[in-house]
Structure 1
Amino acid sequence: MDGGGGGRREVVAGELERLRAERQELDIRIRLLESELEAGSAAPASPAGEDAAAGVEDGLCGGGSGGACQTRREFVESGALPADMIYRYSRHLLLPDFGVEGQRKLSRSSVLVVGAGGLGSPVALYLAACGVGVLGIVDGDDVELNNLHRQIIHKEAYVGRSKVKSAADACRAINSSIKLVEHHHTLKPSNALEIVRKYDIVVDATDNLPTRYMISDCCVLLNKPLISGAALGLEGQVKIRGSSPVCTICGEKSVFTQEEFQKFDYEKFTESPMSDKSTPSLSLLPDSARVTCTEYKRMIDKGEPHLLLDVRPAHHFQITSLPQSLNIPLSVLEEKLPLLEISLKETMDTSAASDEQPSLYVVCRRGNDSQSAVQLLREKGFPSAKDIVGGLQSWAQDVDPDFPAY
């Protein structure tokens, strides 16, 4: 028999747990007090950080309450943590390598987020929540319904309104004490230097090649740290690039000037647009090998026998499609030509119009892959193949407004 020893062990274990918790709490309080002492003798912040603090001191706290601005101003100036800031940022303060001094530096810093989309949304929200001193957001687009599933900073109520306004309001709702600067325009060589030079750090959260090149060059010229993020499909990456000695822009012998930067054509250099709203349109075919969506609709209304070939990937075809269309993705079109021949023959057999091969029309999402498909088909013995200009996007715009656009 244990003589009640089991009950005694439970009591001792409980007392040990209580004492350990008290000791942990005392350790935390000691670290906080030590950090406050160190903060009192810390060196002044960088000029950019001072500008950030001055912005808050001027009352530019993103529309927050005067009390929130006051507590932040006191913290920035003295390094002493008000009670509400200790509570708000307590998880930061408990980190031995961050602590009070880390929070103070964060509160004196300024960050520019370029792009308020899928990447910029979580970045801006986290920066606001963690207490960055000044948060600038630049984007020239408006919120669209098909943004909301991934651009989590925006809400349905903001559809059709400025992304920057939407993002700034969301950040203010999280932390009213920070300063928010709204740049309601696209970042371009003509305005980038003026905007970027005001911030300590730049986050590139854009989605196109020319803008990425431009931001990188701008940060090199202004000696600003650049954090680049990218996401495609199910993959993503974040990196900080170092300089390359042989680079013509950031290398040791670079002669690239701010004047040259402002005149440089990044769209021409990368052969791609700075906005997904201006998707480049290919022109691979003569006019005789193409029809507009309106012309194709008239042909349908007349009952002309034909075969409609949809060359989008299979998972695109599952989203939406035109009636009676045959899906053979462009990537496998050449190997599936026998299937296309069979389908054309079946179309001809069901039509009593003539013995001639029925017309073959090719469609894709935006009218680029379909042109490549028509080129291939004509080379492989399908002379009747014609491209539908603008693809399903044009069909939705010009023929059927209720057709699902994506």
Structure 2
Amino acid sequence: MNGERYIRQTNLKDFGPKAQERLSKSKVLVIGAGGLGIPVLTYLNAMGVGTLGIVDGDTVSGSNLHRQVLYDEADVGRSKVQIAIRKLRAQNSDTQLISFEQFLSKENALGIIANYDIVVDASDNFPTRYLVNDACILLGKPFVYGALHGFEGQVSVFNHNDGPTYRCLFPNMPGPDEVPDCNMNGVLGVIPGIVGNLQALEVVKVLTGVGEVLSGKLLLFDGLSQSFQHIKFSLVPDSLKMEELKPTYNFECTSGITSIETLELEQLMEKDSVQLIDVRTSEEFCADHLEGAHHIPLSELIERKSEIDFARPAYFICQSGVRSQKAIERLREYNTGPELINVKGGMNNLRAYVAKY
């Protein structure tokens, strides 16, 4: 351990060399190398955490750059994990950096999380948060939660020393109609930095035993008023009654919507000409799309509905499966013909499970 490098920490009366040694022996898994994950990774790496695992299957886009400050313009289109590993290694060559260039899924979650002391949920969607929580319960791991909305953020620590879980606070995943369109809501660039740093601080407190951990407390940050609020909540014992992961962590389809798994879509596309409608934004589509997909952004769907052949099945895809469901709901008013089929999990699932895409 480089004593001079960390002297400003080890000189702290309530921290000292022992806490620094605990950090150096710790293994932290960060799920998401985006707005929240970058400050978490940057500071934990700088502060001397021994091992950092990074889980993310995404690439850098231009719209990331105002808040994901580890990346620069030359990185657009490249793997976030690969870039993060390279830049973090230059920052601190002593850290063991482990890459998982994939999205967290039901199939890989337990195997990845098992090898770490604590998990940081720096994701941006509800399915991943519930998956992280449930996997951490089964494995007995604490995790640090962070979330963003506009000018606001939330932070808490779950599953810590028999404390409350994420499901104690949010028992059930919201339906797709209760969730704003993914990638369509704004966030002020500095807010993820503030919230991510608060997450990093909670990780340090859990690992070293210094300070009071945000277990059983939800911290709410309002950037416009520069105010903090704490909401206390208690353990709900039923949230611990779990023997295995749920059958699925995709959003439940709204009533009457036919859906298809991503692997089924791949098999269909190998055999037949499939009418696939991609309802993401132009930027998302240009950055990554399936060959043969027809692009109609959700915001333009109704005025461009004539571009869809309602005489044969139409498959709808977005990033996570939310906007594609909303597209089908909107088109139902105009179509009474063949099936409108949602691709569950969207491009995220395709990236996670179908290597060739």
Instruction: Give the structure-2-normalised TM-score.
Output: 0.52
Q: Go from structure 1 to structure 2 and tell me whether the alpha carbon gap of 1:164 and 1:193 turns closer, same or farther (over 3 Å shift).
A: same
1:126 aligns with 2:56: no
- Give, as a single letter, the amino acid of the residue that structure 1 aligns with 2:51: V
Other-structure match for 2:92: 175
Corresponding position of 1:291: 304
Match of 1:238 among 131, 146, 155: 155
| Residues 97-112 of structure 1 mapped to structure 2, 5 A cutoff | 97-112=14-29
Residue segments in structure 2 that go unaligned for 5+ positions in a row:
173-234, 255-277, 282-294, 309-322, 335-357
Of 17, 22, 32, the residue aligned with 1:115 is: 32
How many Å separate the matches in 1 of 2:253 and 2:138?
20
**Distance in 2 between residues matched to 1:278 and 1:102, nearest whole Å:** 49
Indicate yes or no: 2:137 matched with 1:220.
Answer: yes
Contact 1:228 1:239 in 2 (8 A): yes
Shift of 1:292: 4.5
Query: Does the alignment pair 1:266 with 2:249?
Result: yes
Residues in 2 aligned to 1:194 and 1:251: alpha-carbon distance in whole angstroms: 26
In angstroms, what is the RMSD of aligned CA positions? 4.0
Distance of 2:114 and 2:123 partners within structure 1: 19
Higher relative contact order (CA 8 A, sep 6+): 2
Please name the residue that 2:242 is paired with. 256
Matches within 5 A, 1:7-406: 72=1, 85-241=2-158, 242-243=163-164, 252=237, 254-258=240-244, 261=245, 264-269=247-252, 290-292=303-305
Q: Percent identity?
A: 44
What is the CA deviation profile of residues 3-55 of structure 1, one whole-angstrom value per residue up to 9, with x for unaligned ones? xxxxxxxxxxxxxxxxxxxxxxxxxxxxxxxxxxxxxxxxxxxxxxxxxxxxx
Q: CA contact under 8 A between 1:245 and 1:251: conserved in structure 2? A: no
* Post-superposition CA distance 1:319-354 (Å, at most 9, x none): xxxxxxxxxxxxxxxxxxxxxxxxxxxxxxxxxxxx
Shift of 1:293: 8.6
The whole-number CA distance in structure 2 between the counterparts of 1:129 and 1:143 is 23
2:131·2:249 contact (CA, 8 Å) conserved in 1? yes
Instruction: Call closer, same or farther: CA 1:210–1:101 in 2, change over 3 Å.
Output: same
1 CA distance for matches of 2:304 and 2:72? 39
Contact 2:59 2:78 in 1 (8 A): yes
- The whole-number CA distance in structure 2 between the counterparts of 1:245 and 1:123 is 20
* Aligned structure 1 segments of 4 or more residues deviating by more than 6 angstroms: 365-369
State the Cα deviation string for residues 123-168 of structure 1 (Å, max 9, x = none). Answer: 1000100010000000010111211111112122222111111111
After superposition, the C-alpha distances for 1:290-326 in whole angstroms (9 at most, x for unaligned) are 435979xxxxxxxxxxxxxxxxxxxxxxxxxxxxxxx
**Corresponding pairs, count:** 212
Q: Aligned in 2, Cα 1:199/1:244: closer, same or farther, shift over 3 Å?
A: closer
Give the direction of change, closer, same or farther, for the CA distance of 1:157–1:290 in structure 2 (3 Å limit).
closer
After TM superposition, give the deviation of residue 115 of structure 1 in Å. Answer: 0.2
Write the distance in 2 (CA, Å) between the matches of 1:246 and 1:160.
35
Output the TM-score relative to the length of structure 1: 0.46
**Residues 210, 270 of structure 1: 8 Å contact kept:** no
- Give, in whole Å, the separation in 1 of the partners of 2:109 and 2:117: 14
Q: Which runs of 5+ in 1 are unaligned?
A: 1-71, 73-84, 272-276, 296-364, 379-406
Q: Which moved more, 1:222-231 or 1:248-257?
A: 248-257
Q: Call closer, same or farther: CA 1:237–1:210 in 2, change over 3 Å.
A: same
Larger gyration radius, structure 1 or structure 2: 1
Asked if 1 retains the 8 angstrom alpha-carbon contact of 2:133 and 2:166, the reply is: no
Q: Which amino acid aligns with 2:135?
A: C
Would the alpha carbon gap of residues 208 and 278 (structure 1) be closer, same or farther in structure 2, given more than 3 Å must change?
Answer: farther
2:112 counterpart letter in structure 1: I
Matched residues in 2 for 1:191 and 1:246: separation?
Answer: 21
What corresponds to 2:217 in structure 1? Answer: none
Contact 2:51 2:97 in 1 (8 A): yes
